[in-house]
Amino acid sequence: MPRRQGHALLIALAAGTATLATAVAIGTTLITDERQTPLSGSQSHTAARNPAAPANSLGTWVATWTGAPVSAEPAAGQGYPGRTIRNVVHTSVGGDAARITLSNLFGSAPLVIDRAAVNTRPVTFQGRATVTVAAGRQVVSDPVVVPVAPDADLEVTLRTPYASGPVTQHPNTHQTSFLADDHGTWSTTRWRYLTAVDVRNAASPGAIVVIGDSLTAGSGSTTDANARWPDVLSDRLRHTYGIANQGIAGNRILRDSPLTLDGVKHLGGLSGTRRFERDVLSVSGAKTVIIALGINDVQQLPQEPD
């Protein structure tokens, strides 16, 4: 989708706030109380439920990118043992350090990551290079001192040494990422395991979280053009705010969304009400929420009369 069309879509969405979007101011105390309690020793190898769990460092943390976990990846029941997953994401706000959130939400077995990096800079978890994420959980890394530019592509590399069960994914990303092993490298348009990148930026006013459906996720936009309407919003705000795009194709407010991928029907995302705490209130630095949901409740079967 050309960027001028992205601007037009953004204007149209702004004009339709009465029916499509609601801006909600979130008090900082609401989202920081859970965030400030350090992980206990028993939690060091498993995931904190809150994606904004502490990174044991000073500074102001704000989400520069998010990708809501959608489902288990079809035909990847054993994961990608021995392969390197190179997730490419596009930043909104910049910073002088980063931390990542890894999710095993749709996994049925522990996920072992023995190598992680942000733009080739090694990442640790509670001081260790290897981390185990329990099935259904997620984990936040230690901070890594790496310059993160605003409005730029960022590569987060992960390696899984063992078969790990179903892969937690976000499909149809409109972004080219990669899978690699000793035999070659393959392109993909899925984000795997990675659900958030936070940056340390004391000057940023915070993050704007957008929870929406395919229009928010980027349906119709050109691959690698970063022309989703939240990307255009980031441009217009001069990349001073973090923009957390939590759009999922087919998402609804009241019901979980069935979705067919690769000929397999499976869950296409928890309903907006069920994922609101995880995908909105737990985002680092969240100050404002834009809700762009409701279309699929009205037009998809079963239709919601209320």
The answer on pLDDT for 186 being more than 50 is yes
What pLDDT score does 260 carry? Answer: 54
Written as six digits, the tokens of 279 are 């995908």
The answer on pLDDT for 148 being more than 50 is yes
Cis check: omega of the bond before 81, within 30 degrees of 0: no
Written as six digits, the tokens of 290 are 């834009």
Q: What does the pLDDT look like over 150-163, one tens digit per residue?
A: 999 999 999 999 99
Residue 289, amino acid: V
The answer on pLDDT for 21 being more than 70 is no
Give residue 292's Cα distance to chain centre. 17
Residue 282, amino acid: S
Q: What is the mean pLDDT of the chain?
A: 83
Least trusted range by pLDDT, from 19-28, 150-159, 240-249, 292-301: 19-28
Q: Nearest-CA neighbor of 245 among 170, 182, 193, 306?
A: 170
What pLDDT score does 263 carry? Answer: 56
Least trusted range by pLDDT, from 76-85, 98-107, 166-175, 182-191: 76-85
The answer on pLDDT for 242 being more than 50 is yes
Q: What does the pLDDT look like over 195-218, one tens digit per residue?
A: 999 999 999 999 999 999 999 999
The answer on pLDDT for 24 being more than 70 is no
Neighbours of 160 (CB within 10 A): 22
What pLDDT score does 182 carry? Answer: 87
Hey, where are the domains in the chain?
3-299
User: What's the CA gap between 186 and 184, in Å, rounded?
Assistant: 7
Q: Where are the alpha helices (DSSP H) in the chain?
A: 3-15, 28-32, 214-217, 229-236, 272-276, 295-299
What pLDDT score does 268 carry? Answer: 58
